[in-house]
């Protein structure tokens, strides 16, 4: 005779209960579609507590607390712990296969010249290197999860001012370029489109990808914002100071259409910097919170229309009020369908 048992782990070991066939059938009938549904529609999120762990001098410009703030807000809004994936630091060897060895060695060993460190904008520490290696790995993991699941989001990333042999503007190693290369290791993914909507031009990414015909870079930024010496992306659009929602969103639509005329992507990497927001301390644009949401929705809609995977990172955002800043970053997760 067939018997059904339920095994429940407890402090004293695993307990075994005999249950009726009827109950088993009922549980399977009611529960299974729910479990399948949750598994099918759960959008992978990538986070590590180290994202927010960096000792900085008092009044330092960088809002290091925002990453854990975004995680906490997502959990508060009902995202289960099981939806978060935790990256392990990228190896120094992998970094060296994409970036100049001398730079990787000097930076990871703490022997980079003072001036080069000043250009990055963080004081050197072991913690900084560990955090950066983990964050870069986070974007690579996000890219891989996007390939298998269709869509994935990192709770940090967007180090677009990092070049092959130097870093700048809070960026040490360029995660966007590495993630594009990671995606291209998968069958069927040859062409990767990097959509960079941070208010600052994606100069490092543009330079790194300048000879890669299979990586297309689009940068929509504030013309008067850093970097003052811009590099050449495949498409660059510099908006004037004070641009608001309507101008921003219609320009983005044109830029995306123009990109698709020149390039057929098999995958998209999206830098969703929120320093375009009207209250941002560094950005010169005046886009509202609703405008940020509409922008993010446009990019996700493009990926879904094309039927290609999309990996998103949060990019820049510089308001001293962390709660207000998290509220703007959270629009990305609303637009992606992670939360309502
Ligand atoms: Zn930025």
CA dist., res. 82 & res. 224, Å (int): 42
Look at residue 29 in the predicted model and tell me its pLDDT: 56
Q: How confident is the model at residue 8 (pLDDT cuts 50, 70, 90)?
A: very low
By mean pLDDT, which of 9-13, 118-122, 168-172, 258-262 is the weakest? 9-13
Whether residue 141 has pLDDT greater than 60:
yes
For ligand 1, the distance from its centroid to the CA atom of residue 59, given in whole angstroms, is 18
Look at residue 34 in the predicted model and tell me its pLDDT: 46
Cα torsion at 169, 91, 153, 144 (round to 10°)?
130
Give per-residue pLDDT as tens, 162-211: 999 999 999 999 999 999 999 999 999 999 999 999 999 999 999 999 99
For range 88-110, the mean pLDDT: 98
Residue pair 271/309 in contact (Cβ under 8 Å)? The answer is no
CA distance to 83, 128, 165, 169, 181, per residue, from 139 (Å): 16, 17, 20, 18, 11
Percentage of residues in the chain having pLDDT higher than 70: 88
3-class SS of residue 92: helix
Instruction: Select the CATH number that applies to the domain covering 45-336 from these four: 3.40.50.1000, 3.10.450.50, 3.40.50.2300, 3.40.800.20.
Output: 3.40.800.20
Question: Looking at the DSSP assignment, which residues form a beta bridge with residue 269?
Answer: 194, 311
Whether residue 93 has pLDDT greater than 50:
yes
Between the two ends of the chain, the Cα-to-Cα distance in Å is 48
Residue pair 196/220 in contact (Cβ under 8 Å)? The answer is yes
For ligand 1, the distance from its centroid to the CA atom of residue 195, given in whole angstroms, is 13
Q: How confident is the model at residue 7 (pLDDT cuts 50, 70, 90)?
A: very low
Look at residue 17 in the predicted model and tell me its pLDDT: 47
For ligand 1, the distance from its centroid to the CA atom of residue 313, given in whole angstroms, is 12
Give per-residue pLDDT as tens, 252-301: 999 999 999 999 999 999 999 999 999 999 999 999 999 999 999 999 99
For ligand 1, the distance from its centroid to the CA atom of residue 42, given in whole angstroms, is 29
Give per-residue pLDDT as tens, 22-73: 554 555 555 555 444 444 569 999 999 999 999 999 999 999 999 999 999 9
For ligand 1, the distance from its centroid to the CA atom of residue 328, given in whole angstroms, is 14
Whether residue 142 has pLDDT greater than 60:
yes
Residue pair 228/222 in contact (Cβ under 8 Å)? The answer is no
Give residues whose Cβ lies within 5 Å of ion ligand 1: 198, 200, 273, 275, 316
Whether residue 1 has pLDDT greater than 50:
no
Task: Output the average pLDDT for the chain.
Answer: 92
CA distance to 53, 152, 154, 156, 172, per residue, from 66 (Å): 11, 19, 13, 9, 19
Look at residue 19 in the predicted model and tell me its pLDDT: 52
Cα torsion at 237, 243, 247, 251 (round to 10°)?
10
**Domain ranges in the chain?**
1-38, 45-336
Element (H, E) at 8: strand 4-10
Residue pair 172/162 in contact (Cβ under 8 Å)? The answer is yes
């Amino acid at each position: 005779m067939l018997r059904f048992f339920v095994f429940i782990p407890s402090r004293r070991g695993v307990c075994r209960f005999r249950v009726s066939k009827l109950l088993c059938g009922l549980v399977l009938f009611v529960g299974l579609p729910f479990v399948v549904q949750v598994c099918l529609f759960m959008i992978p999120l990538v986070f590590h507590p180290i994202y927010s762990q960096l000792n900085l001098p008092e009044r330092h410009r960088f809002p290091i607390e925002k990453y854990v703030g975004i995680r906490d807000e997502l959990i508060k809004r009902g995202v289960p712990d099981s939806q978060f994936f935790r990256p392990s630091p990228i190896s120094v060897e992998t970094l060296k296969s994409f970036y100049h060895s001398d730079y990787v060695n000097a930076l990871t060993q703490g022997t980079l010249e003072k001036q080069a460190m000043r250009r990055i904008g963080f004081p050197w520490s072991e913690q900084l290197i560990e955090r950066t290696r983990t964050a870069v790995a986070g974007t690579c993991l996000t890219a891989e999860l996007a390939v298998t699941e269709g869509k994935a989001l990192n709770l940090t990333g967007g180090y677009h001012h990092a070049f092959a042999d130097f870093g700048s503007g809070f960026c040490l190693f360029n995660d966007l370029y590495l993630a594009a290369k990671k995606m291209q290791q998968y069958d069927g993914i040859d062409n990767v489109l990097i959509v960079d909507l941070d208010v600052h031009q994606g100069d490092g990414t543009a330079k790194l990808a300048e000879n890669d015909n299979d990586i297309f870079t689009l940068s929509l930024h504030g013309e008067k914002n850093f970097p003052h010496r811009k590099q050449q992306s495949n498409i660059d659009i510099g908006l004037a100071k004070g641009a608001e929602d309507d101008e921003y969103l219609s320009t983005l639509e044109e830029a995306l259409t123009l990109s698709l005329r020149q390039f057929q992507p098999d995958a998209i990497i999206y830098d969703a910097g929120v320093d375009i927001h009207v209250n941002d301390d560094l950005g010169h644009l005046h886009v509202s919170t609703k405008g940020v949401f509409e922008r993010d929705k446009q990019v996700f809609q493009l990926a879904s229309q094309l039927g290609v995977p999309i990996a998103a990172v949060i990019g820049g955002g510089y308001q001293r009020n962390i709660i207000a800043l998290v509220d703007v970053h959270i629009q990305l997760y609303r637009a992606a369908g992670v939360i309502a």
